[in-house]
């Protein structure tokens, strides 16, 4: 019995790609290392796959450090195979096997389906195999998938990016945007719902520019509205949109489609118009704040999150103050904050006036302090509200000691909720209505049921799927919550670039 171990770094696109890598390896006869009982689990799998990210500066150090840690295992067991895929593989290519000659396979972002064949070829030829395609030939959704969750799933609606942000290396690694046909997307979503999935997140590098390939500027809003017609689909989310392409028809679709959740991730990057121009971000702070105003006018309870980069080349104290001002005005529920790091191959890497590390750190600390203050205040505003929580395993690290269960509210806030003595205990995938009793800095506490407050459990098909899976020998424990993963599902058969203007009735032009 050959085992595999897929180690994922980076964004949601990589997480979803790793589900496909797992599906490919299981189809080829490998078994998930994490799925074996402790006594039967070897220290290192027969195949170790690194699905890498190249966005942050330390991505290189992390990859080569991890590869170095595996070298003794490779020396001890020459049959061990090590593969490197994802954005770092697309970028470094042959450099990986030059720096780490014990690596067996290097594959890029456009050919993850080649992994089993490359492993076989490396084993047969007894030499490293490097295969990097320059463009996508078929959508990865055609590949078999081993999903991490029985009740929640990802669906890619597009891959690649047409923007030219000066700090970002992704377009050169993921390629130009390619859109799937609406009918194929909806078919995949319906197939997932038939398997018990109640929550789906739509994925795209710039998800709201969907439709650019077939010339429909409202294709994304139409797709959101079509999601509302899928019976049994409780929750729809999407990530990540781009402010420059975010239009009012999308806001309308979010507000008027009940299963599209009131949560929005809207990357700011900087609150300085001068810096935004240097970043080639084709919007300015006034437009950004205007989008948030229009979202909140139609969806008052929307929780908005963001990405912010501190210390972009040439950023002055005045520029940074602009970021602080926009953050304070935006009232983000949370923010992913990053210190700018040079990425070779990007225009920003060659810019003058790189900001000293000490200055970047000091500004970063101030931004974190402000956002923590805002997040806590926004969470305190939730106190007394009744929220609907989709229960999930692994979300609450202290659930065992606090006797709570955890999950996400409709606005994607993390909620830890108490279960009254003798009451029905929700399963992962079930929905629970509870009263928020305290807004903590990073989560909500909902203990109202202990004193007679709201506590209503609604079993779902997702909870049924999760419960059935725990009794099935086909699944194995995941790394997160000790729950079992669904069996491998086959890829969708008829995916690809649009050959004509889509005619899907609920979503077409």
| pLDDT at residue 508 in the model | 37
Beta bridge partners of 158: 179
Beta bridge partners of 8: 51
Pairing, β 152-156 against β 81-86: unpaired
Copy the structure tokens of residue 344. Answer: 């070779």
Pairing, β 3-8 against β 47-52: parallel
DSSP state at residue 215: T
As a whole number of angstroms, the distance between CA 388 and CA 414 comes to 11
Listed by start position, the domains of the chain span: 3-131, 151-261, 268-381, 386-470
State which CATH number among 1.10.150.120, 3.40.50.410, 3.30.750.210, 3.30.420.40 fits the domain covering 151-261: 3.30.750.210
pLDDT beneath 50, residues of the chain: 477-481, 494-509
pLDDT tens-digit readout, 380-402: 999 999 999 999 998 888 888 88
The CATH superfamily label for domain 3-131 reads Methylthiotransferase, N-terminal domain (3.40.50.12160)
DSSP alpha helix (H) spans, 271-398: 273-279, 285-298, 317-330, 357-380
| pLDDT at residue 473 in the model | 60
Burial 10-40 (b: 16+ CB within 10 A, else e): bbebbebbbbbbbbbbbbbebbbbbbbeeee
Report the candidate in 421, 432, 433 with the shortest Cα–Cα distance to residue 463.
432
As a whole number of angstroms, the distance between CA 157 and CA 89 comes to 23
Cα torsion through 168, 54, 90, 177, rounded to 10: -40
As a whole number of angstroms, the distance between CA 24 and CA 30 comes to 9
Q: What Rg, from alpha-carbon coordinates, does the chain have?
A: 23
The residue count for the chain: 509
Instruction: Tell whether residue 11 is among the known ligand binding residues.
Output: yes
Beta bridge partners of 178: 159
Cα dihedral across residues 264, 267, 273, 276: positive or negative = negative
| pLDDT at residue 480 in the model | 43
207's CB contacts (< 8 A; 6+ apart) are 157, 158, 220, 238, 239, 240, 241
Q: Which helix (H) or strand (E) holds 408?
A: strand 404-409
Beta bridge partners of 34: none
Report the candidate in 306, 293, 200, 190 with the shortest Cα–Cα distance to residue 251.
293
Instruction: Tell whether residue 507 is among the known ligand binding residues.
Output: no
Burial 402-427 (b: 16+ CB within 10 A, else e): eebbbbbbbbbbbbbbbbeeeeeebb
In the CATH hierarchy, which fold is given to the domain comprising 268-381?
A: Transcription Regulator spoIIAA (3.30.750)
As a whole number of angstroms, the distance between CA 110 and CA 90 comes to 9
pTM: 0.89
As a whole number of angstroms, the distance between CA 32 and CA 41 comes to 10
Copy the structure tokens of residue 137. Answer: 């030939």
Where does 386-470 sit in CATH, by number? 2.40.50
Q: Is 356 helix (H, G, I), strand (E, B) or coil?
A: coil
Give Cα separations from 440 to 172, 177, 383, 482 (angstroms): 40, 39, 10, 26
Cα angle for residues 100, 101, 105 (degrees, 5° grid) = 90
CA 478 to chain centre: 17
Give Cα separations from 124 to 93, 127, 128 (angstroms): 21, 8, 10
Instruction: Tell whether residue 227 is among the known ligand binding residues.
Output: no
Give the chain's end-to-end CA distance (angstroms, integer). Answer: 50
| pLDDT at residue 482 in the model | 52
Copy the structure tokens of residue 168. Answer: 């970002």
As a whole number of angstroms, the distance between CA 380 and CA 207 comes to 31
Kindly report whether the peptide bond that precedes residue 240 is cis, defined as omega within 30 degrees of 0: yes
CA 48 to chain centre: 22
Q: What number of H helices and E strands is found in the chain?
A: 15, 21
| pLDDT at residue 12 in the model | 85
Same fold, 3-131 and 268-381: no
| pLDDT at residue 483 in the model | 60
Give Cα separations from 59 to 91, 267, 379 (angstroms): 12, 21, 33
Instruction: Tell whether residue 87 is among the known ligand binding residues.
Output: yes
DSSP alpha helix (H) spans, 195-284: 219-227, 248-256, 273-279
């Amino acid at each position: 019995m050959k085992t595999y171990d897929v180690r994922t770094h980076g964004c949601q696109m990589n997480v979803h790609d790793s589900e496909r890598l797992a599906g490919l390896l299981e189809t080829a006869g490998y078994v998930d290392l994490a799925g074996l009982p402790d006594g039967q689990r070897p220290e290192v799998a027969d195949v170790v796959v690194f699905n890498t990210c190249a966005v942050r500066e330390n991505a290189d150090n992390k990859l080569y450090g991890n590869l170095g840690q595996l070298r003794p295992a490779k020396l001890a067991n020459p049959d061990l195979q090590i593969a490197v895929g994802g954005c770092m593989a697309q970028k470094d290519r042959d450099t990986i096997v030059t720096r780490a000659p014990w690596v067996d396979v290097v594959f890029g972002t456009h050919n993850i389906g080649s992994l089993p064949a490359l492993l076989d070829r490396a084993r047969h030829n007894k030499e490293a195999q490097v295969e990097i395609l320059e463009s996508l030939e078929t959508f990865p959704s055609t590949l078999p998938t081993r999903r991490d969750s029985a009740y929640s799933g990802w669906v890619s609606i597009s891959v690649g990016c047409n923007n030219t942000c000066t700090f970002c290396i992704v377009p050169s690694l993921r390629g130009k945007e390619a859109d799937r046909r609406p009918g194929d997307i909806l078919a995949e979503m319906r197939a997932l719902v038939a398997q018990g999935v109640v929550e789906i997140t739509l994925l795209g590098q710039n998800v709201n520019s969907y439709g650019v390939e077939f010339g429909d500027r409202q294709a994304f809003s139409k797709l959101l509205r079509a999601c509302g017609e899928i019976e049994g689909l409780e929750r729809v989310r999407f990530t990540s949109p781009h402010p420059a392409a975010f239009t009012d028809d999308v806001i309308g679709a979010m507000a008027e489609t009940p299963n599209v959740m009131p949560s929005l991730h809207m990357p700011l990057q900087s609150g300085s118009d001068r810096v935004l121009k240097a970043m080639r971000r084709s919007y300015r702070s006034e437009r950004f704040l205007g989008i948030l105003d229009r979202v909140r006018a139609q969806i008052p309870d929307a929780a908005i999150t963001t990405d912010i980069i501190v210390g972009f080349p040439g950023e002055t104290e005045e520029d940074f103050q602009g970021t602080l001002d926009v953050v304070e005005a935006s009232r983000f529920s949370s923010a992913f904050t990053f210190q700018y790091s040079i990425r070779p191959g990007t225009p920003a890497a060659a810019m003058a006036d790189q900001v000293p590390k000490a200055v970047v750190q000091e500004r970063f600390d101030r931004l974190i302090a402000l956002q923590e203050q805002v997040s806590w205040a926004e969470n305190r505003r939730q106190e007394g509200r009744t929220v609907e929580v989709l229960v999930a395993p692994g979300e609450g690290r202290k659930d065992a000691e606090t006797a709570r269960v955890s999950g996400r509210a409709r606005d994607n806030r993390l909620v830890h909720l108490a279960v009254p003595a003798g009451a029905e205990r929700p399963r992962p995938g079930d929905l629970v209505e509870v009263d928020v009793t305290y807004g903590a800095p990073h989560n909500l506490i909902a203990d109202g049921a202990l004193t007679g407050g709201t506590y209503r459990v609604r079993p779902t098909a997702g909870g049924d799927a999760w419960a059935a899976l725990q009794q099935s020998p086909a699944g194995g424990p995941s790394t997160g919550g000790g729950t079992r993963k669904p069996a491998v599902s086959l890829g969708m058969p008829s995916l690809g670039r649009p050959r004509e203007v889509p005619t899907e009735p609920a979503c077409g032009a």
